Chain A
Amino acid sequence: MVNKLGNKPLVGIGLRTPHYSHVIQNKPQIGWFEIHSENFFMQEGNSLHVLDTIRQDYPLSLHGVGLSLGSTDELDKSHVQKIKSLLNRYTPFLVSEHLSWSKIDGIYFPDLLPIPYTEESFSVFARNIDYVQTILGRELLIENPSSYLEYKDSSLLEVDFLSNLCKKTGAKILLDLNNVYVSACNNDWDIKIYLDAIPPELVEEIHLAGHEFRSFEDGSTLRIDTHASQVCTEVWSLFNYSIKRGISAPTLIEWDTNIPDFEILMKEATLAQTYLNSK
């Protein structure tokens, strides 16, 4: 496997524009890079040429944010085709999307919106994942989102919804541990119950990132998944706990806002690799 060193999964870094030159010139010792698929939907141009160059030295993972798998609207077939074009060009070792929705009546919200965890939602997701996997000719990874609300009508736990969905469709789980932590804190979930319910064999990728607090005028607070800081101590502990549970997969350091020098990301990646190697 290109994404493993011996029998140990490798750590990757989210590839962002400010680091293109550094990566091409210095070829840092990192296992792989992940890109946001939609950032490379143009037909040609400099961004694709840069990615062509980087792909010569590193495995890539495609991470989508715009498929809207939880929409009752019909899936955007041209969007799926654009992902397929990227697959043909870059042969990524992982392709992922989110357990969320963003499109209604032809309008897209650029966010990962929460769905009620109901039987109807399950059917919609299963149908859409099946369609995408058929067109792409490969399995998708589905990421648990950060959530800031829960619906009164949800009848299933998120973790059960996600695990059962993957079992039904043949998709795999992208386990974002920062999202688990943020959602658990915001919605008063038991994190241990969540992680213990994840079937380790379904997890094909792990995400680690930072988050921040937002305070409201009434004094209440929520944790917000900003990807703008280092991974917090509690999330590193969840990573360690997950590895001990047998959840071991290629792991990504994500940092999307206030992007720091590449060396800061390398330190985070080195720490993550140390955890993975320690099992």
Chain B
Amino acid sequence: MVSLRDYQKKFLESYHDESSFIDLIKADQVSASNRLSVYHTSIRETLRKALTLTYPLTWKLIGEECANGAAYAFIQEKVALPQTGNLDEWGETFPKFLSVYPPLQTLSYLPEFAHLEWLQHLAYNAPDKEPLTIQAFKGLPPESYEKLSLELHPSVHLFSSSYPLDQIFAVVNEKVDTITLENRKSYALIIRPYKTVIIHWLPEASFSFFSLLKKGLSLLQVMSQIEDETFQLNQTLSFAFQAGLFSDHNLKIHESKDFVEDEA
């Protein structure tokens, strides 16, 4: 008798057309292969549907037929199958697959566009945290500001692209009809401060500023690494508070570290 583990291994193989699984199935007026195909079809459709829910703008950008074709090719790959029973956690590698999927090779911006959608998906499912307001800093003496470490909201993701994704998003979201794709980079900050996920398109220096903050550097350390002379700290912080980008701050750690250095 075949062991249960072998049943399950053979089913996995059958998904890739490499198995004698149908020999285990009773057949009558309905063939074993037709019976098995119901499960294979159901799996593919569920996975395709999960991708459409995670990447709705990619579907809109390249059209349903083309996107479905890419999805079916993706989910036929062994490495693409979920390693979790929670499909909200699955699909991260779809953008990378798009970069090697031959029919879409001409759309060089597509993998990065799709990756940005994945980050939106992560932001949607991130933990809630009340954004800090400027009031949280009222008790701090101004001379301590530079020693502050500012914690970005847990839903924040930062992504720089080699392509003007802001232009492409504007078309997909029907904010403009047509575009002439510019030859430039784009810098996105994705956040869900409350219910809705928002993408902020940033200047390069602001993007660097928030990226360094996300690494846990103090305000002083961050500013020492920003070389762009046009960068306006006050303006950037004002934007950050309005957009709810900060969820916490920490003065003590950097104070004590700096204190030791000062004493030495």
Contacts and interface: CB of A to CB of B under 8 A. Distances in A.
Interface of A: 38-39, 41-46, 49, 65-68, 70-73, 76, 79, 82, 101-111, 113, 115-116, 118, 120-121, 124, 148-153, 186-188, 214, 216, 218, 220-222, 224
Given A107-B12, A110-B43, A222-B38, A45 B192 contact: yes
Contacts of A39: 88
Contacts of B82: 107-110
B24 A113 contact: no
Interface residues of B, number: 46
A187 B30 CA distance: 9
A103 to B, nearest CB: 7
Given A38-B88, A222-B34, 9 more contacts: A79-B84, A107-B83, A108-B81, A111-B39, A116-B4, A149-B26, A153-B24, A216-B37, A224-B38
Top 5 A-B pairs, shortest CB-CB distance: A66-B85, A44-B128, A149-B35, A104-B8, A42-B125
Contacts of B18: none
User: Looking at chain B's contact residues, is the secondary structure mostly helix, strand, loop, or mixed?
Assistant: helix
A5 to B, nearest CB: 35
A152 B25 contact: yes
B4 A104 contact: no
A115 B88 CA distance: 26
B15 interface: yes
B126 interface: yes
16 contacts: A38-B85, A41-B89, A44-B128, A45-B126, A49-B195, A66-B86, A73-B8, A106-B83, A108-B81, A108-B85, A109-B43, A110-B87, A111-B43, A148-B35, A152-B25, A214-B38
Interface string B28-49: 1111101111110011001100
A39 B53 CA distance: 12
B203 interface: no
Contacts of A73: 8
B125 A152 contact: no
Contacts of A186: 30, 35
A44 B247 CA distance: 15
A188 B4 contact: no
A120 B147 CA distance: 63
Interface of B: 1-5, 7-9, 11-12, 15, 24-26, 28-32, 34-39, 42-43, 46-47, 50, 81-89, 124-128, 192, 195
B86 A79 contact: yes
Contacts of A103: 85
Contacts of A110: 43, 46-47, 50, 82, 85, 87
A104 B9 contact: yes
Nearest to B85: A66
A207 to B, nearest CB: 18
Contacts of A41: 86, 88-89
Contacts of A151: 7, 24-26
Given A46-B195, A66-B85, A148-B38, A118 B1 contact: yes
A108 B84 contact: yes
Contact of A220 (B12, B29, B192): B29
B81 A113 contact: no
A121 B4 contact: yes
A39 B50 CA distance: 12
B85 A216 contact: no
A51 to B, nearest CB: 14
A101 B4 CA distance: 11
Nearest to B36: A149
A206 B83 CA distance: 31
B8 A149 contact: no
A59 to B, nearest CB: 24
Contact of B4 (A65, A107, A124): A124
B18 to A, nearest CB: 14
